[in-house]
Structure 1
């Protein structure tokens, strides 16, 4: 199982996947917003989304787990 983590302190602007969705390596799964910039967060591994740990509007810090993929 792989986790997709935030690399910065930001707010979750948009969640692009749901549990059960299939993703390919490099697919954006969440878009963060920081200082009016949109930051796509990509998965490093292909697989199926097994959990989404955030919702739109959540504040996250560096290292916060956003999505699990297996």
Structure 2
């Protein structure tokens, strides 16, 4: 047996796979998946809103500080 470039033997292994049909989810599984995706989306939106609100508050604070400095100059 000859060695390949990676040091492994050069041989082919034939695999015989049978096609398996994918099991269809039940109505309960589909409903649960849909509910989870809605919950995840609401959670993501709430986190995004919180981050946006924090960013906006910081932006306004920095803007007020800058305007105060400019007026003193």
Give the structure-1-normalised TM-score.
Answer: 0.15
| Larger Cα-atom Rg | 2
Larger RCO (CA under 8 A, 6+ residues apart): 1
Which is richer in strand?
1
